[in-house]
Structure 1
Amino acid sequence: MKRISGFVAALAVAATLTTACGTTEKAEDRAAAQGGPVTVTDSRGTKVELKAPARRVVALEWGEAEMLVTLGVQPVGVADVKGFGTWVTAVKLDPAVKDVGTRGEPSVDAIVALRPDLVVMEVERDSPLVAQLEKFVPVIVAKGADATRDLDRMREDLTMIATAVGRTAEAKTALAGFDTALAAGRERIAKANAAGKQFAMADGWKEGSSISIRMFGQGSFVSQLAIQLGLRNAWTGKVDERWGLGNTDVEGLSAIRDTDLRFFYNASDGDDVFATGLAGNAIWDSMAFVKSKQVHRNPDGIWTFGGPASARQFVNQLVKVYTA
């Protein structure tokens, strides 16, 4: 993912000076940050060329919207602005950010009306939305999830977006801060003799009289964060290949048998099915982690599919619980 400048000779000299100074910043990165042309290769393998770093950006998923704000770029439009404010608290959107529809069905008209110079999104490769938008505006597609290497994927998505908006230095700073927090958290958990302890992570919802539970398996983003801290994921049930998520019910949770396990869950929208929907449920009440009061509702607004800012929030939550 390189940036392109018309001043090839100047870049060559700058690159030499950069090497001599011992910095890793690329000369073409500096040139693009100053307003030169930019080329990025997105998750589709598509090269997207911009005349200059994007300034008016629309984000159609919250993870990418969070990354933009982390980089110092307030998007002009975001899908489901209200939902973002509920589920993502690591960064704040400017009140001027426009809502462009739902994440599942964003409005092409609303997006185009904002006159963006870039749309950032996640999408399946066969989605017609990309082709619809590319008639009006350049689009880069982030991968968004990869259950085989999700932390590396997050880094790559952030770096790609940073390249497109001319903020690679900010991306390096954000990732360095994330790495520092992860290392410090791992050290604190080790000192608390909590390394190797097991955890489970879930969210849930109620449909009629049935409680559905979504487990965060080994490859999920938050699970990978916990594993990097030295913890072990107790959930070994089937999960999907992209997100590392698996569906179950309260009976399925009985497969988690560890007696020294902490169970984490989300309820940012206020629908706390674990506290209310399962109240008095004999199967739930019989579980070791429930009996030992090791069930932890995460603070509202920690987005479990976010960038380095949300990742640091979740790391801080785990460290707080395991070192208390």
Structure 2
Amino acid sequence: MFTRLFTWRCCGLAALLGLLPVLASAGSWQHEQGTLNLEETPKRVITLNWAATEALLLLGVTPVGVADRDGYKVWVKEPELPEGVANIGTRVAPSLEAIAELKPDLIVTSSEMAPAADLLKRIAPTYVVSIYKEGTRPFEKARDMLTTLGKILDRESRSEAVLNGINQTLKTQRHRLEEAGLTDRPVTLVNFLDDRHVRIYAPNGLFQHALNALGLENAWPHPGNYWGFSVVGLEAIAPFQDSRIVVISPTLPGLADTLASSPFWTYLPPVQREQVYQIEPVWPFGGVYPIKRLATLLTDSLLAGGSDNVR
């Protein structure tokens, strides 16, 4: 499928490739598709997934082009993507022509784009790193990606400061929860897919790092897919009667009214105890920053108190 999506669509692209700058080496880095060799620090970087986009922004580098630019602003939100960044297509099928026209000196992508790696390398040096793969530990992998990109982009001190800031935030939020006595009950983290099914976040996912750091137990004990979640019916969370339900936005229009009239939903013990908490969107497939965002939003929500429904 990817081969078809990434075929050259016009002869003019070959001419564009000939105009791209040749980097003269700041260093060499091993990655999933070989070795990245650079003779100078990249200035014009394109990111083909949101975790990479997030990492660049944390390092103080604004990419010249990103995949699914508008979606980033809805689902990821932070760190904020500045205006004026070019959209180079979707994350599953970016436009090679659009990428080439931006004349990047580095492309950051993941193994999902492996079939297109050779085509991308013809445009610019390409760094392939995947946070979400079978057997990986998402937060550790995301931390390594940020650190390595910090070296590649000559922002090592910035990457260290970012990680130190996240650790300090986690300690602060944990202290707030412990002072309020709110670490006694486990939590269930979900996104609603419809009024009967949720994406539930598992112990092997990115969000587990935030729960561990906050001293909170994940009520859902079962491992998920390598993205760190499972899709289940609401009946699957009914046995976890002592838990608090944390709903991560966005939700479908009209969901609140549907759930309010659902005998099954209103029967759940956390709903009856008014221990349903809804927080703003947090991207579960990102890098290190969603840990900080989730920890802060979750702590604020628990301290504010729950309700018996979603919004």
TM bucket, shorter chain: 0.7 to 0.9
Aligned counterpart, 2:30: 41
* Stretch of structure 1 that moved more, 193-202 or 223-232: 193-202
Structure 1 position 148, deviation (Å)? 5.4
Structure 1 position 273, deviation (Å)? 6.9
Which residue among 208, 228, 235 is the counterpart of 1:223? 208
Measured in 2, the distance between the counterparts of 1:273 and 1:308 equals 32
Which residue among 93, 96, 99 is the counterpart of 2:87? 99
Aligned counterpart, 1:313: 293
Aligned residues: 280
Measured in 2, the distance between the counterparts of 1:274 and 1:314 equals 23
Other structure's SS at 1:153 match: helix
Report whether the alignment pairs 1:212 with 2:208.
Answer: no
Decide whether the 8 Å contact of 2:26 with 2:152 is kept in 1.
no
Measured in 2, the distance between the counterparts of 1:136 and 1:110 equals 11
Aligned counterpart, 2:19: none
Measured in 1, the distance between the counterparts of 2:136 and 2:180 equals 29
Residue ranges of structure 2 left out of the alignment (5+ in a row) = 1-23, 305-311
Identity %: 27
Report whether the alignment pairs 1:263 with 2:258.
Answer: no
Measured in 1, the distance between the counterparts of 2:247 and 2:102 equals 37
In the superposition, the TM-score normalised over structure 2's length comes to 0.83
In the superposition, the TM-score normalised over structure 1's length comes to 0.79
Other structure's SS at 1:95 match: coil
Aligned counterpart, 1:16: none
Distance change in 2, residues 1:272/1:296 (3 Å): farther
Structure 1 position 282, deviation (Å)? 1.8
Residue ranges of structure 1 left out of the alignment (5+ in a row) = 1-34
Deviation sequence 1:67-90 (CA, Å, 0-9, x none): 101111000111111101111222
Structure 1 position 202, deviation (Å)? 1.1
- Cα RMSD (Å): 2.2
Counterpart of 1:96, as a letter, is G
Report whether the alignment pairs 1:158 with 2:146.
Answer: yes
Deviation sequence 1:84-105 (CA, Å, 0-9, x none): 1111222222221111111122
* Stretch of structure 1 that moved more, 60-69 or 129-138: 129-138
Where does 1:133-212 land on structure 2 (aligned, <5 Å)?
133-145=120-132, 149-206=137-194, 211-212=196-197
Any runs of at least 4 consecutive aligned residues in structure 1 with deviations exceeding 6 A, and if so which?
none
Deviation sequence 1:106-138 (CA, Å, 0-9, x none): 1222112211111111224x8302222112211
* Stretch of structure 1 that moved more, 64-73 or 289-298: 289-298
